[in-house]
Amino acid sequence: MNIIIKTPGFIGDTIMMLPALQIIKQEYPKAKITVVCKNNCKDIFRGYDIDKIIIDNTKGSNRLKKALNLIKSIREERYDLGVVFHNTFMDALIFKLSNIDTIIGYDKEQRKILLDFWLKIDRSKHYINHYANLINKYLKEKYTLLPPLKLYAQKQSFVTKKSKPLIGFVLGTHKDTRGYPQKQSLELFSLLKNSAYKIILLGDCDDKYNNSIYEKQLKESKIEVKNLTGKTSVGEFIDIINTLDLLVTIDSSSMHVAAATNTNFITIIGKSASPFEVVKPKVNFGSYLFRGEMCIKDTDFIKNIKPQEIVKEIENRLKIDK
């Protein structure tokens, strides 16, 4: 059995796809598995015994040429089964033109004519169930329980544990209705005890400006801080979160990394693209702060979460007395 899988486009979605991947591996233990994913998602599959990873770079300029190159790469082998977890017409077309024997996926963008087995999308399903259900329906509902969500972390040199609790922050201030505002973030950091914690600032390149401001304030307050914003690969990002005692994060891929590495976390919830109940980590740890129940404006959802509440929750999670 030779199986090829097209992953979702985002890091968090790809992490939530992992239980479906585990079902595939349980069903076909001797199969050779190829993954087609974005370059920034390849480290997610460390430890999963993937035979081959093909990088999908079909976004941006020269998309037709890139798509043809991707088809050529896939056609270097003959695949018995292709699973399209990314719900675009182009992904299904690329698999169809790659001579894959059987292609399965969801019917979106009128693409069921390209699929040998398809399901209608149920937007009320949790993302993890969305991916796993496609596989399970294809297997005639053979499985009843989801495999555990898991990422494999490695040792790294960016961060080492010390006697102080190690807290990571992913505040995503630039992310509109999802990010924690700069003014409240500054107040949050001003409320942290001078010597109680070591702070790790994390994020992508768009977080650099705001995190540099937070770093300056923390240093002026004599709080030990390391700013790794935009300096890590996805694999290193996973490894760092795995090292933390606690992660404070917005609804983003970092939340899913924490859940999949068994890292304690606090999620501060604003207005995101998807309802939170369909992306909320399926783990029995972590806590969530949401104060937008009565808000009309989307931007007020996360603004209603006070810095004092976050500090109190940090203390509760780490069991540190005031």
Amino acid at 238: I
User: Is the pLDDT assigned to residue 260 strictly greater than 50?
Assistant: yes
Alpha-carbon gap, residue 34 to 74, rounded angstroms:
9
Segments forming the whole domain that contains residue 24: 2-138
Same domain, 200 and 311: yes
Same domain, 179 and 114: no
Where residue 221 sits, what CATH number does that domain have?
Answer: 3.40.50.2000
Residue of 238, 250, 255, 175 whose CA lies nearest to 41 = 238
Mean pLDDT of the chain: 94
User: Is the pLDDT assigned to residue 163 strictly greater than 90?
Assistant: no
Instruction: Tell me, yes or no, whether 160 lies in a domain.
Output: no
Question: Which of 138, 155, 189 is where one domain is finished?
Answer: 138
Instruction: Tell me, yes or no, whether 200 lies in a domain.
Output: yes
Note whether 175 and 211 are within 8 A (CB). Answer: no
Q: Tokens at residue 63, please?
A: 């998309």
Instruction: Tell me, yes or no, whether 148 lies in a domain.
Output: no
pLDDT tens per residue, range 180-226: 999 999 999 999 877 789 999 999 999 999 999 999 999 999 999 99
Instruction: Tell me, yes or no, whether 147 lies in a domain.
Output: no
C-beta atoms surrounding 140 within 10 Å: 6
Residue of 47, 55, 15, 49 whose CA lies nearest to 32 = 49
User: Whole-model pTM above 0.75?
Assistant: yes
Same domain, 283 and 210: yes
Sole residue written with tokens 């770093």: 215
Name beta bridge partners: 225.
199
Sole residue written with tokens 């399209």: 84
